[in-house]
Amino acid sequence: MELRKLNESANIGSISCPVCNKEFKKEIIEDHVNKCLFLNTPENNATTCKRNSAHFKDVSSHEKKIKLDSISTTKAKKEPQSSKLNSKVETTKEKDVPLAEHMRPLTLDDVVGQREAFGHGSMLRAMLEQKKIPNMILWGPPGCGKTSIANVVANICKEQSHMRYVKLSATMSGINDVKEIVKVAKNEIQFKRQTVLFMDEIHRFNKLQQDTFLPHVENGTITLIGATTENPSFSLNNALLSRCRVVVMQKLSVDDVMIILRRALKNKETLIVDAQGSRKQEDTLIPRFIVQEDSLRWLAEVCDGDARVALSALELTLAARGSDNEVHITGPVVLALEDIKNGIKRSHMLYDRQGEEHYNTISAIHKSIRASDDNAALYWTTRALHGGEDPLYIARRLIRAACEDIGLADPATLTEAVACLQGCQHIGKPECDVLLVQCAVRLARAPKSREVYNAMKRCQRSLVEAKGPLPPIPLHLRNAPTKLMKQMGYGSGYNLLHKNESGLEYMPEGMEDVNFFHDNNDEED
């Protein structure tokens, strides 16, 4: 069709390009088409910057020339063979794709969990259903569905001719890759195509590198979707946060993980039965595997809301228990609870010693002690140790709690907390766990007094809010190590009597009536 147009316009002075539909002279049309075809190939889209007048110039003799009359015939000859090869490659790829990747949702209705952010009636869901993609940062723990949401957005972009989806990961890409994407995006805007950039693990870019996104997000060159497991308040640039909506995604519940596991087993032709052996789903096909629902629920509970961990453990179990040929010869393979336990050797728990969970857990220990909840103090201390927290760090925080929250109500707790720290230094992990737990419970059960702590905070506040120079130290309180200082009155009149008997004032001049212990406005943290 395009060649026919070209031949029909050959008799006229100008010829229409079959790629960009622009008119050019017959002398340069072939060189121009070569350039157009090169710039529109998928291999070069990612590195193409702008289509300017430079590609209208003559092609050098060293470049390969693509003959117009051979394009259609070459395609026609190779299409049947390439389609067969593509089908073989696709089937091979499907077998090699991990189960967690294979189970990614394609539409919003397939998304499991995250009802508050993407459920029916939410603003983000309404925008995505209208094919509008906002700038957003997806923040949540591993395996909660951040990349799955991005996969849904990718399918939305595929359905729209005016949208283009690009996926990068900060673990494998740098700022130069982002700049190349922006160059192509600026070129695509000329053809009214919007570029949606998904940047996985965006927190791995430092805040200076994150500035690269700012002008292009602000002027609409790209629509940015970032995914991070770190708290954006600490790991992302404030200027970038002001241009994107932060979407908080929670851990998946046990029921949500069960839904995902059932879908995965359905694709694997697996029959789920209850404890009595009755079917939990209607299926007339002969199953390849049989698994009890209780075993599946155990996996959902132990994965700590991480669907990727659950699917990976399930895939490992299926691969270890039988291949396609064995199943059809010997009948369905029964997956016992022990088989699934072998797929995931230990309980999976999210804990980052350098991230937000580190501070959240320590805060939970301290506040449980402050509230005299010995059971909660026991739980959070044990959980921190189970997650790999440094025992010496916990011990130091227990010393702080002994002074801040117990104080003079039971001064012996400070000595016990310091002894706990020294004991942890001597015996180390894992034997020091009982020392920390015992100390945490002891502090939780002790009487509480924040009198000294609150008085200190009031004193600090008075120093910060003081106007003018601070009052001088009274002469009778000053140190007088030399004869000259004694002649100046340093230490004059000082005696060893109680303040009520000595007749001396120990507060600075002008602050004689200030008492930090008798202020009713206690300051709480």
One domain for residues 121 and 243:
yes
| Residue at 472 is within a domain | no
**What pLDDT, on a 0 to 100 scale, did the predictor assign at position 341?**
78
**What pLDDT, on a 0 to 100 scale, did the predictor assign at position 86?**
44
Q: What is the mean pLDDT of the chain?
A: 79
One domain for residues 117 and 179:
yes
One domain for residues 119 and 239:
yes
- Sign for the CA dihedral angle at 149, 155, 157, 159 comes to negative
Residues 6+ apart with CB under 8 A from 41: none
One domain for residues 78 and 148:
no
d(CA 78, CA 488): 106
CA–chain centroid gap for 521, Å, is 40
One domain for residues 200 and 113:
yes
Domain boundary (213, 229, 248) is at 248
One domain for residues 304 and 410:
no
User: Is residue 525 over pLDDT 60?
Assistant: no
Model confidence at 53, pLDDT cuts 50, 70, 90, reads very low
Model confidence at 350, pLDDT cuts 50, 70, 90, reads low
User: Is residue 21 over pLDDT 90?
Assistant: no
| Residue at 523 is within a domain | no
* 313 and 342 Cβ atoms separated by less than 8 Å: no
Residue 169 pairs in a beta bridge with 200
Q: Which two tokens stand for residue 330?
A: 């010997």
Residue range(s) defining the domain that contains residue 263: 254-343
Model confidence at 274, pLDDT cuts 50, 70, 90, reads low
Domain boundary (222, 248, 274) is at 248
Model confidence at 167, pLDDT cuts 50, 70, 90, reads very high
Q: Centre a 10 Å sphere on the Cβ of residue 321 and count the other Cβ atoms it contains.
A: 20
Give the ranges where 97-133 is alpha helix by DSSP (H). Answer: 99-102, 115-118, 123-129
| Residue at 56 is within a domain | yes
For the domain that residue 331 is a member of, what is the CATH number?
1.10.8
**What pLDDT, on a 0 to 100 scale, did the predictor assign at position 323?**
52
Q: Which of 58-62, 245-249, 284-288, 412-416 has the highest mean pLDDT?
A: 412-416
- Sign for the CA dihedral angle at 133, 138, 144, 150 comes to positive
Q: Centre a 10 Å sphere on the Cβ of residue 286 and count the other Cβ atoms it contains.
A: 11
One domain for residues 266 and 232:
no
| Residue at 486 is within a domain | no
Give the whole-number percent of the chain exceeding pLDDT 70: 77
One domain for residues 110 and 239:
yes
Domain boundary (309, 343, 377) is at 343
One domain for residues 241 and 106:
yes
Window from 82-86, 113-117, 248-252 with minimum mean pLDDT: 82-86
Give the whole-number percent of the chain exceeding pLDDT 90: 29
Work out the average pLDDT over 79-94.
44
| Residue at 205 is within a domain | yes
Residues 6+ apart with CB under 8 A from 367: none
One domain for residues 377 and 407:
yes
One domain for residues 275 and 311:
yes
| Residue at 517 is within a domain | no
| Residue at 437 is within a domain | yes
| Residue at 349 is within a domain | no
One domain for residues 405 and 439:
yes
d(CA 118, CA 146): 11
Residues 6+ apart with CB under 8 A from 110: 152
Model confidence at 368, pLDDT cuts 50, 70, 90, reads very high
Work out the average pLDDT over 86-99.
55
Model confidence at 25, pLDDT cuts 50, 70, 90, reads confident
For the domain that residue 395 is a member of, what is the CATH number?
1.20.272.10
**What pLDDT, on a 0 to 100 scale, did the predictor assign at position 281?**
54
Q: Count up the domains in the chain and report the number.
A: 5
pTM of this structure = 0.60
